[in-house]
Structure 1
């Protein structure tokens, strides 16, 4: 059996309880060494076989899984954040299907939520934004034309932009071309929830300058939207005194 486990954003205590238990039980762990906090390996048993996938090809990863399955061992494939977001897990799952090897997924805390916690943000403030767009700039991995930064920027929703810290000048131009004003609030969060985390607020037009001033060129998430300054939002109707729910009747206004 293979378990795809989300390691979370970095802090070793942000892995889920289920994920930690799977690491406790694993006979083999294949972890993304370039991104996953190695402190998480402390949850494994002494005899666990550990492999760093940063040095492996897809075929080599699959060979380890196949061998472990033949030996009756349980494998944890430990991915950074949540495996479903830029995790390259589908190609592994399809290969396991072809080999008739069973697998399950265990979710994890993705970087955009670790970054929000670091800045005490709510992405969905009433009156400002009720949507969160998770996307990336095009690099070696192509992005469909209909999912361009400009097209998403036109929505004026909250945005979390992954894998783009090395292209911030171009990112700013695309965000502005799509409809964001240059002074729209933005933030750069480097290694969210790690001990060496750095988080800076700025504007769409000063993303590059802010990152350059602090030596940030990779492993950072870009957040965009008016929710970052959390001003001029409306309070939730759910807790309003004059709003009825299944559990609470609206209270009459005092005369």
Structure 2
């Protein structure tokens, strides 16, 4: 059997929010590396009874890579679970660069992003006609990798798009101070901690009030912050479904 590494999005943490492909790959995997800090252990029930489970929360990138390369060298199938979707803040590029250098084959299976699970939990559409038609997915810098100079929060705030802030919950008061000029004190803010997991917590507030709620709850990680007028549930109607829209031209193109 030829070994391979499957990078699999584990979604926001709920065992029933994995894709069908993800559950199939977990069932077939002989080695599973998973982020214990962010993952509900129930997700691992999809793994086979004989799979070797490796919690990566105390491993650096090189140590994780060594485990994967060694397993593939033994002809084993590896699943590297990432929280949310591998396309966001998963260190996918660093890991696959190392696997390429070692001649190890790999592929990627997407997962439900944490922000999508958070929006679903509160019934929010992040793009509302005449209010916001863009979503900015970003993070801020504290004790983490430096942000490019062109991606300052103030630059994104100037668009007044719906902002989704990852990995930023410990700086929420400072962030709201940076956003108040563009969004205003009354702009709605939603914080979802561990969306879809047993310890889920939803906080609803505004730019002026959300920091007090976050600090009172003692949130330190695994939370998504959403900011924007689209969260008001007010706005215009979509042209796509407007009763006055001419649909005859579209029907004609289908014949």
Task: Please confirm whether the aligned pair reaches a TM-score higher than 0.5, indicating the same fold.
Answer: yes
Query: CA offset at residue 188 of structure 1?
Result: 1.1
Give yes or no for contact 2:121–2:196 (8 Å, CA) kept in 1.
Answer: yes
Matched, 1:222 2:230: no
Give the match for residue 42 of structure 2. 39
Matched, 1:67 2:70: yes
Residue from 117, 124, 127 that aligns with 1:114: 117
Structure 1 residues 248 and 201, CA, compared in 2 at 3 Å: closer, same or farther?
Answer: farther
CA distance in 2 between counterparts of 1:100 and 1:137 reads 34
Gap regions ≥5 residues in structure 2? none
1:205 match: secondary structure: coil
Matched, 1:159 2:137: no
Query: CA offset at residue 217 of structure 1?
Result: 2.9
1:170 match: secondary structure: helix
Q: Deviations over 1:33-81 (max 9, x none)?
A: 1112211111111111110011212111111111111111100000100
Matched, 1:198 2:201: yes
Matched, 1:84 2:72: no
Cα RMSD between the aligned structures? Answer: 1.4
Alignment of 1:121-136 (within 5 A): 121-136=124-139
Query: CA offset at residue 176 of structure 1?
Result: 2.0
* Higher mean C-alpha displacement, 142-151 vs 214-223: 214-223
1:54 match: secondary structure: coil
- Number of corresponding residues: 247
Give the match for residue 11 of structure 1. 14
Query: CA offset at residue 218 of structure 1?
Result: 2.4
Give the match for residue 148 of structure 2. 144
Gap regions ≥5 residues in structure 1? 250-255
CA distance in 1 between counterparts of 2:211 and 2:197 reads 22
Query: CA offset at residue 6 of structure 1?
Result: 0.3
Matched, 1:243 2:245: yes
Alignment of 1:50-61 (within 5 A): 50-61=53-64
Query: CA offset at residue 248 of structure 1?
Result: 5.5
Matched, 1:168 2:172: yes
TM-score w.r.t. length of structure 2: 0.93
